[in-house]
Amino acid sequence: MRRTFTARALAMCAGAVMIVGVAAGCSDSDSSDSGSSATSSMASTSMAAAAADPATTKEITDAYVVFFNGQTPPAERAALIENGDAFLPVLQGLTKNPQSMQTTVAVKDVKVTDADHADVTYDLLMQANPVMPGQTGQAIKEDGKWKVSADTFCALMAVQGDGGQIPACA
Protein backbone atom coordinates (compact mmCIF):
# COMPACT_ATOMS: atom_id res chain seq x y z
CA MET A 1 0.00 0.00 0.00
CA ARG A 2 1.38 3.39 -0.98
CA ARG A 3 2.12 5.73 1.94
CA THR A 4 0.00 8.85 1.74
CA PHE A 5 0.06 12.19 3.50
CA THR A 6 -2.93 11.01 5.55
CA ALA A 7 -1.09 7.89 6.68
CA ARG A 8 1.90 9.97 7.76
CA ALA A 9 -0.39 12.46 9.52
CA LEU A 10 -2.18 9.66 11.37
CA ALA A 11 1.07 8.12 12.49
CA MET A 12 2.47 11.48 13.52
CA CYS A 13 -0.62 12.42 15.49
CA ALA A 14 -0.85 9.07 17.25
CA GLY A 15 2.77 9.30 18.27
CA ALA A 16 2.51 12.91 19.37
CA VAL A 17 -0.64 12.28 21.34
CA MET A 18 0.47 9.13 23.05
CA ILE A 19 4.22 9.13 23.47
CA VAL A 20 6.45 11.74 25.06
CA GLY A 21 9.20 13.06 22.80
CA VAL A 22 8.53 10.90 19.76
CA ALA A 23 8.08 13.72 17.26
CA ALA A 24 11.21 12.71 15.34
CA GLY A 25 10.05 9.12 14.72
CA CYS A 26 6.33 9.58 14.27
CA SER A 27 6.15 8.73 10.57
CA ASP A 28 7.59 5.23 10.83
CA SER A 29 4.33 3.26 11.02
CA ASP A 30 4.05 0.31 8.67
CA SER A 31 0.59 0.88 7.26
CA SER A 32 -1.96 3.59 6.76
CA ASP A 33 -4.57 1.62 8.66
CA SER A 34 -2.38 0.37 11.51
CA GLY A 35 -4.00 2.73 14.02
CA SER A 36 -7.45 1.64 13.10
CA SER A 37 -6.65 -2.06 13.24
CA ALA A 38 -4.72 -1.70 16.50
CA THR A 39 -7.64 -0.23 18.37
CA SER A 40 -10.36 -1.96 16.38
CA SER A 41 -8.94 -5.39 17.17
CA MET A 42 -9.60 -4.67 20.84
CA ALA A 43 -13.33 -4.35 20.25
CA SER A 44 -15.51 -6.81 22.06
CA THR A 45 -17.08 -9.40 19.83
CA SER A 46 -19.94 -9.89 22.25
CA MET A 47 -23.25 -10.30 20.48
CA ALA A 48 -24.92 -8.98 23.64
CA ALA A 49 -23.72 -5.42 23.09
CA ALA A 50 -26.56 -2.94 23.30
CA ALA A 51 -26.93 0.80 23.11
CA ALA A 52 -26.22 2.32 26.51
CA ASP A 53 -28.89 4.21 28.41
CA PRO A 54 -28.57 8.02 28.20
CA ALA A 55 -26.93 8.42 31.64
CA THR A 56 -24.33 5.73 30.93
CA THR A 57 -23.66 7.14 27.46
CA LYS A 58 -23.12 10.60 28.95
CA GLU A 59 -20.77 9.33 31.68
CA ILE A 60 -18.66 7.32 29.22
CA THR A 61 -18.67 10.12 26.62
CA ASP A 62 -17.61 12.65 29.26
CA ALA A 63 -14.79 10.37 30.42
CA TYR A 64 -13.47 9.99 26.85
CA VAL A 65 -13.86 13.69 25.97
CA VAL A 66 -12.09 14.93 29.11
CA PHE A 67 -9.41 12.20 29.08
CA PHE A 68 -8.41 12.74 25.44
CA ASN A 69 -8.45 16.54 25.69
CA GLY A 70 -4.80 17.60 25.66
CA GLN A 71 -5.66 20.64 27.77
CA THR A 72 -6.98 18.55 30.69
CA PRO A 73 -4.51 18.53 33.62
CA PRO A 74 -2.67 15.18 34.00
CA ALA A 75 -4.11 14.40 37.45
CA GLU A 76 -7.65 14.87 36.12
CA ARG A 77 -6.86 12.67 33.12
CA ALA A 78 -5.39 9.98 35.39
CA ALA A 79 -8.68 9.87 37.30
CA LEU A 80 -10.48 9.00 34.04
CA ILE A 81 -8.42 5.98 32.96
CA GLU A 82 -8.34 2.50 34.40
CA ASN A 83 -5.38 2.20 36.82
CA GLY A 84 -4.79 5.92 36.38
CA ASP A 85 -1.94 6.29 38.86
CA ALA A 86 0.19 4.04 36.67
CA PHE A 87 -0.34 6.37 33.68
CA LEU A 88 0.25 9.66 35.51
CA PRO A 89 3.95 9.99 34.49
CA VAL A 90 3.05 9.51 30.80
CA LEU A 91 0.18 11.98 31.05
CA GLN A 92 2.46 14.53 32.72
CA GLY A 93 5.00 14.11 29.92
CA LEU A 94 2.37 14.73 27.26
CA THR A 95 1.96 18.29 28.53
CA LYS A 96 5.43 19.03 27.11
CA ASN A 97 4.36 18.13 23.58
CA PRO A 98 2.58 20.99 21.75
CA GLN A 99 0.82 18.60 19.36
CA SER A 100 -0.61 16.45 22.14
CA MET A 101 -2.01 19.60 23.73
CA GLN A 102 -4.15 20.12 20.57
CA THR A 103 -5.95 16.78 20.68
CA THR A 104 -9.57 16.08 21.45
CA VAL A 105 -12.01 13.27 20.76
CA ALA A 106 -15.54 12.99 19.40
CA VAL A 107 -17.48 9.98 20.70
CA LYS A 108 -19.71 8.50 18.00
CA ASP A 109 -21.28 5.49 19.72
CA VAL A 110 -21.39 3.67 23.07
CA LYS A 111 -22.56 0.06 23.42
CA VAL A 112 -22.66 -1.68 26.80
CA THR A 113 -21.33 -5.25 26.65
CA ASP A 114 -21.95 -6.06 30.33
CA ALA A 115 -22.46 -4.24 33.63
CA ASP A 116 -18.79 -3.12 33.78
CA HIS A 117 -17.70 -2.89 30.12
CA ALA A 118 -18.67 -0.92 27.04
CA ASP A 119 -17.42 -0.52 23.49
CA VAL A 120 -16.84 3.05 22.35
CA THR A 121 -16.49 4.29 18.78
CA TYR A 122 -14.73 7.64 18.52
CA ASP A 123 -12.72 9.95 16.28
CA LEU A 124 -9.36 11.26 17.49
CA LEU A 125 -9.08 14.92 16.50
CA MET A 126 -6.24 17.40 16.23
CA GLN A 127 -7.27 21.05 16.13
CA ALA A 128 -10.86 19.78 15.66
CA ASN A 129 -9.90 17.81 12.51
CA PRO A 130 -10.26 14.00 12.47
CA VAL A 131 -6.84 12.37 12.25
CA MET A 132 -7.86 8.89 13.40
CA PRO A 133 -11.55 8.49 12.61
CA GLY A 134 -13.63 5.45 13.47
CA GLN A 135 -11.50 4.14 16.33
CA THR A 136 -12.93 1.50 18.65
CA GLY A 137 -12.00 1.42 22.30
CA GLN A 138 -13.47 0.32 25.56
CA ALA A 139 -14.76 1.85 28.75
CA ILE A 140 -14.60 0.03 32.04
CA LYS A 141 -16.42 0.65 35.28
CA GLU A 142 -13.83 0.99 38.06
CA ASP A 143 -14.85 1.86 41.61
CA GLY A 144 -18.36 2.66 40.37
CA LYS A 145 -17.20 5.15 37.69
CA TRP A 146 -16.90 4.71 33.95
CA LYS A 147 -13.35 5.25 32.67
CA VAL A 148 -11.30 4.84 29.51
CA SER A 149 -9.84 1.33 29.55
CA ALA A 150 -6.08 1.03 29.90
CA ASP A 151 -6.08 -1.27 26.85
CA THR A 152 -7.54 1.52 24.71
CA PHE A 153 -4.80 3.98 25.65
CA CYS A 154 -2.07 1.33 25.33
CA ALA A 155 -3.30 0.34 21.86
CA LEU A 156 -2.97 3.93 20.69
CA MET A 157 0.57 4.06 22.07
CA ALA A 158 1.36 0.75 20.41
CA VAL A 159 0.59 2.27 16.99
CA GLN A 160 4.13 3.62 17.21
CA GLY A 161 5.55 0.42 18.67
CA ASP A 162 6.38 2.17 21.95
CA GLY A 163 3.48 0.87 24.04
CA GLY A 164 5.75 -1.78 25.53
CA GLN A 165 8.04 0.98 26.86
CA ILE A 166 5.24 2.28 29.06
CA PRO A 167 5.31 0.24 32.29
CA ALA A 168 1.53 0.51 32.74
CA CYS A 169 1.06 -1.18 29.34
CA ALA A 170 3.40 -4.07 29.99
What are the structural domains of the chain?
5-169 (3.10.450)
Q: Are 78 and 67 in contact (CB under 8 A)?
A: no
- pLDDT of 38 strictly over 60: no
> 5-9, 47-51, 113-117: lowest mean pLDDT where?
5-9
Task: Name residues whose C-beta falls within 8 Å of residue 7's C-beta, 6 or more positions apart in sequence.
Answer: 29, 31, 32
* Phi, psi torsion values for 79, nearest 5 degrees: -70, -10
pLDDT at 40 over 70: no
pTM higher than 0.75: no
Rounded-to-integer distance, Cα 148 and Cα 142, Å: 10
- pLDDT tens digits, 62-118: 999 999 999 999 999 999 999 999 999 999 988 998 888 999 999 999 999 999 999
48, pLDDT greater than 60: no
Report d(CA 110, CA 107) in Å as an integer. 8
For 51, 56, 122, the CA distances from 14, given in Å and listed in that order, are 28, 27, 14
